[in-house]
Amino acid sequence: MHGETVDWQALIRDVPDFPKPGIVFKDITPMLADGPAFSAAISEMAALVGPDVDAVVGIESRGFIFGAALAQKLGLGLVTVRKPGKLPADIHSVEYELEYGVDRLEIHRDALSHGHRVVIVDDLLATGGTANATVELVQKLGAEVDCCLFAIELAFLNGRASLDGVEVKSLLRCD
């Protein structure tokens, strides 16, 4: 895949009615299973990251996959944002709205500090609730968000709008 343009859409499987009727799930496992394509995805994502980034913040759980590979490629550390009860030390947490209820995310209080610049990484941007909550957690620690980076952006759900003031980048934009 060196020098070739990758057809990301061909590597994302649509699964209708998952996890519930009416939802079309964007399954990234074919991209992950294709070594050259996954490597190309990480290389392309790395090229989208600014030069002054200090850390990668991966959102549970598929954001860990992209975040860990991206952090390794950039020579940076990985900070994890987790669901409640998963982190062992002192945490900051934030609740956020889902289309079907409320959820919460957590980050270690000592994971970042004032002046750190981060890129937030996840597999998918839908309505933006999870990414927005992660931005809030990062900012609670005094760090700055360089950008939010996604493998897939479901543009028709307008999640970008909820991340007002934060640059959003993605490999594949589904309109």
- Catalytic pick from 4, 44, 60, 99? 99
Does 78 fall in a domain?
yes
Residue 7: inside a domain: no
In whole angstroms, what is the distance from residue 34 CA to residue 54 CA?
29
CATH code assigned at 168: 3.40.50.2020
How many domains does one find in the chain?
1
Q: How far is CA 9 from CA 13, 116, 150, in A?
A: 8, 34, 14
Kindly report, residue by residue over 97-128, the tens digit of the pLDDT: 876 789 999 999 999 999 999 999 999 999 99
For residue 143, is it within any domain?
yes
39 in a domain, yes or no? Answer: no
149-169 mean pLDDT: 95
Pairing of strands 101-108, 91-98: antiparallel
Q: What is the pLDDT of residues 90-103, one digit of tens each?
A: 999 999 987 678 99
Return d(Cα 97, Cα 95) in angstroms, integer: 7
Query: Quick check: 141 and 121 in contact, CB under 8 A?
Result: no
Q: What domain range is 55 assigned to?
A: 50-173
Specify if 3 maps to a domain.
no
Residue 97 lies in a domain: yes
* Most distant CA pair in the chain, distance: 45
Overall pTM surpassing 0.85 (yes/no): yes
Say if residue 3's pLDDT is above 70.
Answer: no
> Binning pLDDT at 50, 70 and 90, where does residue 138 land?
very high
What per-residue confidence (pLDDT) applies to 143? 98
Give residue-wise pLDDT tens across range 23-51.
899 999 999 999 999 999 999 999 999 99
Question: Within a domain: residue 25?
Answer: no
The active-site residue, picked from 44, 60, 62, 136, is 62
pLDDT reported for residue 157 = 93
In the annotation, is 99 catalytic? yes
Tell me if residue 160 is catalytic.
no
Residue 66 lies in a domain: yes
